[in-house]
Amino acid sequence: MKRLFVAAASLLFVPQQPPTSQRLAIEQLIDTRHPSSPSWSPDGAHLAYLSERAGVANIYVDARPLTNFLDGVSGGFFWSADGSRVYFPRAGDLWQAPIAGGSPTAVWTTKDAETNITPSPDRSSVAFARSRELIVRSLVDGKETVWVRLPEGIGAISWAPDGKHIVFDAGAKTIRHEQTPDYSGAKITYTIFERRPGETWQVPGDSQPVRIARTALGNLRWIDAAHWVSERVSDFKDREIIIGGLTPESGRPVYEERDEKFWSIPGQAEPNALPSPDGKWIAFISDRDGWDHLYVMPSDGARRLQPSEAIQITKGKFEAWRPAWSRDSTRIAFDANEPDRPGDRHIGVATINNDPSHPSVMRITSGRGTDTSPVWAPDGTKIVYQHTDAHNSADLFIVDVAARTSVRLSDSMPASIDRAAFVEPQFVHYPGPDGQQVPGWLFVPKNLDRTRKHPAIVWIHGDGVNQNYDGWHVQRNYAVYYSFHQYLLQKGYVVFAPDYRGSIGYGRAWRQGVYMDVGGNDAKDAWMAANYLRTLGYVDMDRVGVWGLSYGGFFTLIAATDQPTLYRAAVDVAGVVDYAMYYEDPYHGGWTASRIGTPEQNPKVYAQASPLSRVDRLARPLLVLHGTSDVNVPYLHSVRLIDELLKHRKGDLVSFMTYPGEFHYFTREHVLRDAWHRVEDFFDANLRSGTTTSQ
């Protein structure tokens, strides 16, 4: 086994025109775009991708816009067989845009909407669902053929590699539950959606469909024209990799792992079973040695393998994610952080040829920042990936695999922004409640007068299983917060971002440190960031604020109620107020139970995970922001929080802003503008009195 990262590469950035130096403006930050979903043309000569600004995404090809819709487009675009145009769904129809120039046009326009539009392997046809029918339509002559008619809705669609069969899901149900709690009144109804999976079927042409799985195989991938691989995680503990065929109930487990605590690899790691293009191997991510690593197993499905029989490709105290096979099935690209540098990620390539037991593994990118999400070019000579660092938000780069040199494809930041003015984070540690060292990221304004005291803000990330990075966040949802912190830094605030236990990037043990202790030591890890700030002579501990989103909002509420005078002001963005309330929501109950059981099983844990029950202790100003369309943390949480605060006569301490129609992660321009100015004004009013800003 060769050591991972035996060779390094250098990033060659396209020179940028230096802008006129100026302070950041919130409007500039909102203008920053975020690229995603890169897709090579069939000949590898062009790259298409989505570029999103403030919740509106359009398709770009080779760094120029292909579409320019005010309401944007959704995902699911694909190339034509000859690479001359890009197809994409829009308003329930299929559209196309020529890459040589010209306006996008509809391929067809129908009264009923088409969903799940999926191209055939040869791109000559598309399959889609329309009014409970599975239809195949030719892209050559427009002829439609109904393959299936069903009494229930049709979901995910997948073509077999030879184009002779289509596998699809059907029968999924969404059950609507309505609430009118006393503290909100009967006039407004709150809705919870319970989703029940359907079944998976296959159909050859217009013959009768055959059910192949009683539970929908949402992550099905093809091994060959007659066999597929999928996996499931049951009760957040048991993970099975399943191989099946086109006959009824043919799927059977060939690999199984059990975690006595809970399955903690995040979905963004893309850990699911991934067959090689030649159908011989299956790659997947496992944390069975305590760290997320790349494994390979044979795909013949002849027998059930023991975990020890899967071949481990990467080893070490780091997390390897997002595997991608080269088209010739000889190499697997992935991204991984480095030991002792959890906030940096780089692209690695494992060469296995036809012998995974003797891999050659090397790093093909290097430098400070994050390189993630590799996608191979068709000829295997290049990889496109996403890069961020302290001076650059997410953009796409292309690396020459042999030469290990990279060039920039996209430039998503407004030209008016002075990138050199951004503050680079410093990676530090501080002791948590039980003495364990808690990692965190310190941002100190440039040219700060360290002989004087300055205000500071602690930012607590959300999701639980997420992290801060050595620079811009890799996800758009948190990149907008990172950009706003750069704005606050230019105003003279010190910013600190802890990676409390439960965070990714530090191995399974740190992720699972929340087991049967949500709201306990993990929350203490977060608010004890103030102890680290206390060691900095230039921080005024009487002017420290705290804020967070989602899980971070939950920890913010705990800090504001368990330690009511530690922070001068707090901002809760869509935070959970009570985990018993969260458990009752069928959308989240299983996730909660996997970590802390049920309220009946562990009442003490649920009691500590309920800042709602301690709001009588609130002593400092609190700002609450929440969108009404939030399904991650229902808006009702903040409604109940405000009701309890008013009952305890805390109305003079709390401000509440509702964003109609907004989701959990703020995306729309008018919402971002209001939220950031509102948070800025709130912190300025409570923290900046007597401060001296940086120059």
The whole-number pLDDT of residue 464 equals 87
Structural domain range at position 653: 426-687
Distance CA 388, CA 335 (A): 13
Residue 681, domain member (yes or no):
yes
For residue 7, is pLDDT > 80? no
pTM, rounded to two decimals: 0.94
Mean pLDDT, range 634-650, rounded to an integer? 97
Report the share of the chain in percent with pLDDT over 70: 96
Residue 373, domain member (yes or no):
yes
For residue 140, is pLDDT > 90? yes
Distance CA 495, CA 475 (A): 19
For residue 194, is pLDDT > 90? no
Read off the CATH number of the domain in which 471 is found.
3.40.50.1820
Residue 255, domain member (yes or no):
yes
User: Do residues 201 and 350 both lie within one domain?
Assistant: yes
- List pLDDT tens digits, range 605-617: 999 999 999 999 9
Mean pLDDT, range 266-285, rounded to an integer? 96
Of the pLDDT bands very low, low, confident and very high (cuts 50, 70, 90), residue 205 is confident
Tokens representing 44? 């590898």
For residue 14, is pLDDT > 50? no
**Percent helix, strand and coil across the chain, each to the nearest 5:** 15, 35, 45
In total, how many domains does the chain have?
2
For residue 458, is pLDDT > 50? yes
Last residue of a domain, one of 408, 437, 470: 408
The whole-number pLDDT of residue 22 equals 67
What's the alpha-carbon Rg for the chain, to the nearest Å? 26
* Cβ atoms of residues 595 and 262 within 8 Å: yes
User: Do residues 383 and 443 both lie within one domain?
Assistant: no
Last residue of a domain, one of 408, 437, 452: 408
The strand pairing partners of 12, in sequence order, are: 407
The whole-number pLDDT of residue 344 equals 98
For residue 143, is pLDDT > 60? yes
Residue 418, domain member (yes or no):
no
CB burial readout 328-342, b (16+ within 10 A) else e: ebbbbbbbbbbeeeb
- List pLDDT tens digits, range 576-632: 999 999 998 877 788 899 999 999 999 999 999 999 999 999 999 999 999 999 999
User: Do residues 460 and 498 both lie within one domain?
Assistant: yes
Last residue of a domain, one of 342, 374, 408: 408
User: Do residues 448 and 401 both lie within one domain?
Assistant: no
- Mean pLDDT score of the chain, rounded to an integer? 93
Residue 273, domain member (yes or no):
yes
Read off the CATH number of the domain in which 199 is found.
2.140.10.30
Residue 415, domain member (yes or no):
no
Report the share of the chain in percent with pLDDT over 90: 87
The whole-number pLDDT of residue 591 equals 86
User: Do residues 95 and 205 both lie within one domain?
Assistant: yes
Residue 159, domain member (yes or no):
yes
Residue 397 is given by DSSP the state E
User: Do residues 33 and 155 both lie within one domain?
Assistant: yes
The whole-number pLDDT of residue 306 equals 85
Tokens representing 373? 């999400």
- List pLDDT tens digits, range 503-561: 999 999 999 999 999 999 999 999 999 999 999 999 999 999 999 999 999 999 999 99
User: Do residues 279 and 226 both lie within one domain?
Assistant: yes
- List pLDDT tens digits, range 421-433: 999 999 999 999 9
Of the pLDDT bands very low, low, confident and very high (cuts 50, 70, 90), residue 694 is very low
Distance CA 502, CA 518 (A): 9
Residue 420, domain member (yes or no):
no
Of the pLDDT bands very low, low, confident and very high (cuts 50, 70, 90), residue 6 is very low
Tokens representing 546? 């705290």
- List pLDDT tens digits, range 326-384: 999 999 999 999 998 999 999 999 999 989 999 999 999 999 999 999 999 999 999 99
For residue 264, is pLDDT > 50? yes
User: Do residues 542 and 394 both lie within one domain?
Assistant: no
User: Do residues 353 and 489 both lie within one domain?
Assistant: no
Least Cα distance to 482 among 470, 491, 492, 499 occurs for 470
User: Do residues 270 and 354 both lie within one domain?
Assistant: yes
User: Do residues 234 and 336 both lie within one domain?
Assistant: yes
User: Do residues 440 and 525 both lie within one domain?
Assistant: yes
Residue 531 is given by DSSP the state H
Q: 207-216, 400-409, 495-504, 636-645: which has the minimum mean pLDDT?
A: 207-216
